[in-house]
Amino acid sequence: MKKIIFVAMVLLCAFATSFAQSKIPTSVKIAFNQKFPNATKVKWDKENAHNYEASFVQNDENYAANFSDTGEWLETETPTTFNQLPNKVQTAFNSAHRGVTPKAVSRIETSKQGTIYEVEMKRGSKTVEVFYKADGTEVKE
Protein backbone atom coordinates (compact mmCIF):
# COMPACT_ATOMS: atom_id res chain seq x y z
CA MET A 1 0.00 0.00 0.00
CA LYS A 2 2.84 2.41 0.85
CA LYS A 3 4.40 1.76 -2.56
CA ILE A 4 1.16 2.62 -4.33
CA ILE A 5 0.84 5.89 -2.41
CA PHE A 6 4.48 6.75 -3.13
CA VAL A 7 4.07 6.08 -6.88
CA ALA A 8 0.86 8.14 -6.92
CA MET A 9 2.63 11.06 -5.22
CA VAL A 10 5.54 10.92 -7.69
CA LEU A 11 3.14 10.93 -10.64
CA LEU A 12 1.15 13.80 -9.15
CA CYS A 13 4.31 15.88 -8.70
CA ALA A 14 5.44 15.14 -12.25
CA PHE A 15 2.02 16.12 -13.62
CA ALA A 16 1.93 19.34 -11.58
CA THR A 17 5.39 20.34 -12.81
CA SER A 18 4.56 19.71 -16.46
CA PHE A 19 1.26 21.60 -16.05
CA ALA A 20 3.07 24.61 -14.56
CA GLN A 21 5.59 24.56 -17.42
CA SER A 22 2.77 24.73 -19.98
CA LYS A 23 1.21 27.88 -18.42
CA ILE A 24 4.10 30.14 -19.44
CA PRO A 25 2.88 32.84 -21.87
CA THR A 26 4.02 32.40 -25.47
CA SER A 27 5.57 35.89 -25.47
CA VAL A 28 7.78 34.88 -22.54
CA LYS A 29 8.91 31.65 -24.19
CA ILE A 30 9.68 33.43 -27.47
CA ALA A 31 11.69 36.16 -25.70
CA PHE A 32 13.59 33.53 -23.71
CA ASN A 33 14.43 31.46 -26.80
CA GLN A 34 15.67 34.55 -28.63
CA LYS A 35 17.92 35.64 -25.76
CA PHE A 36 19.16 32.14 -24.83
CA PRO A 37 19.00 29.97 -27.97
CA ASN A 38 21.48 27.42 -26.57
CA ALA A 39 19.78 26.92 -23.21
CA THR A 40 19.13 23.39 -22.00
CA LYS A 41 17.37 21.86 -19.00
CA VAL A 42 14.94 24.79 -18.82
CA LYS A 43 12.55 24.87 -15.87
CA TRP A 44 9.99 27.62 -15.35
CA ASP A 45 8.54 29.17 -12.21
CA LYS A 46 6.06 31.97 -11.77
CA GLU A 47 7.76 34.56 -9.54
CA ASN A 48 4.67 36.73 -9.00
CA ALA A 49 1.57 37.86 -10.87
CA HIS A 50 3.58 39.35 -13.75
CA ASN A 51 7.07 37.76 -13.70
CA TYR A 52 8.43 34.38 -14.74
CA GLU A 53 11.82 32.83 -14.00
CA ALA A 54 13.59 30.27 -16.13
CA SER A 55 16.36 28.18 -14.54
CA PHE A 56 18.60 26.65 -17.19
CA VAL A 57 22.06 25.53 -18.26
CA GLN A 58 24.08 27.21 -20.97
CA ASN A 59 27.76 26.62 -21.76
CA ASP A 60 27.94 24.26 -18.76
CA GLU A 61 26.90 27.08 -16.37
CA ASN A 62 23.69 27.44 -14.37
CA TYR A 63 21.60 30.54 -14.98
CA ALA A 64 18.29 32.02 -13.92
CA ALA A 65 16.56 34.62 -16.08
CA ASN A 66 13.46 36.65 -15.30
CA PHE A 67 10.94 37.96 -17.82
CA SER A 68 7.78 40.00 -17.49
CA ASP A 69 4.51 38.44 -18.63
CA THR A 70 4.80 40.53 -21.82
CA GLY A 71 8.16 38.95 -22.68
CA GLU A 72 10.42 41.80 -21.51
CA TRP A 73 13.78 40.50 -20.24
CA LEU A 74 14.36 41.77 -16.69
CA GLU A 75 17.53 40.10 -15.43
CA THR A 76 19.87 37.13 -15.64
CA GLU A 77 21.56 35.72 -12.56
CA THR A 78 24.70 33.60 -12.65
CA PRO A 79 26.21 31.96 -9.56
CA THR A 80 29.84 32.85 -8.97
CA THR A 81 32.34 32.83 -6.12
CA PHE A 82 33.34 35.61 -3.76
CA ASN A 83 36.90 35.55 -5.15
CA GLN A 84 35.55 36.18 -8.66
CA LEU A 85 33.83 39.42 -7.60
CA PRO A 86 35.49 42.70 -8.56
CA ASN A 87 38.08 43.69 -5.92
CA LYS A 88 36.11 46.80 -4.97
CA VAL A 89 33.02 44.69 -4.23
CA GLN A 90 35.05 42.28 -2.09
CA THR A 91 36.59 45.18 -0.18
CA ALA A 92 33.23 46.91 0.37
CA PHE A 93 31.60 43.70 1.61
CA ASN A 94 34.48 42.82 3.93
CA SER A 95 34.52 46.34 5.38
CA ALA A 96 30.77 46.42 6.02
CA HIS A 97 30.47 42.83 7.23
CA ARG A 98 33.66 42.00 9.10
CA GLY A 99 34.16 38.30 9.76
CA VAL A 100 31.07 37.26 7.81
CA THR A 101 31.41 34.39 5.35
CA PRO A 102 29.19 34.74 2.27
CA LYS A 103 26.64 31.97 1.85
CA ALA A 104 26.13 32.50 -1.92
CA VAL A 105 27.34 34.97 -4.53
CA SER A 106 25.83 35.89 -7.91
CA ARG A 107 26.46 38.20 -10.83
CA ILE A 108 23.19 39.76 -12.00
CA GLU A 109 22.77 41.47 -15.35
CA THR A 110 19.66 43.68 -15.23
CA SER A 111 17.73 45.60 -17.86
CA LYS A 112 17.64 48.73 -15.69
CA GLN A 113 20.80 48.78 -13.52
CA GLY A 114 23.35 46.99 -15.68
CA THR A 115 25.52 44.45 -13.84
CA ILE A 116 25.24 44.18 -10.08
CA TYR A 117 26.57 41.63 -7.62
CA GLU A 118 24.57 39.86 -4.91
CA VAL A 119 26.14 38.48 -1.76
CA GLU A 120 23.96 36.35 0.55
CA MET A 121 24.89 35.84 4.17
CA LYS A 122 23.34 34.47 7.35
CA ARG A 123 22.37 36.94 10.04
CA GLY A 124 20.98 34.93 12.93
CA SER A 125 18.38 32.61 11.47
CA LYS A 126 17.73 34.88 8.45
CA THR A 127 19.39 34.99 5.07
CA VAL A 128 20.27 38.57 4.12
CA GLU A 129 21.16 39.74 0.61
CA VAL A 130 23.30 42.78 -0.18
CA PHE A 131 23.85 44.16 -3.68
CA TYR A 132 26.81 46.08 -5.09
CA LYS A 133 27.83 47.84 -8.28
CA ALA A 134 31.26 46.93 -9.68
CA ASP A 135 32.75 50.03 -8.02
CA GLY A 136 31.81 48.71 -4.56
CA THR A 137 28.80 50.99 -4.08
CA GLU A 138 26.00 49.23 -2.23
CA VAL A 139 22.71 49.17 -4.17
CA LYS A 140 19.50 49.48 -2.19
CA GLU A 141 16.60 47.56 -3.64
Collect the ranges in the chain with pLDDT lower than 50.
1-21
Give the model's pLDDT for residue 18: 40
Domains annotated on the chain, with CATH? 2-139 (3.10.450.360)
Tell me if the pTM is above 0.95.
Answer: no
Task: Report the 10 Å Cβ neighbour count for 5.
Answer: 9
16, 34, 84, 85, 102 from 80: Cα distances, Å: 31, 24, 7, 8, 11
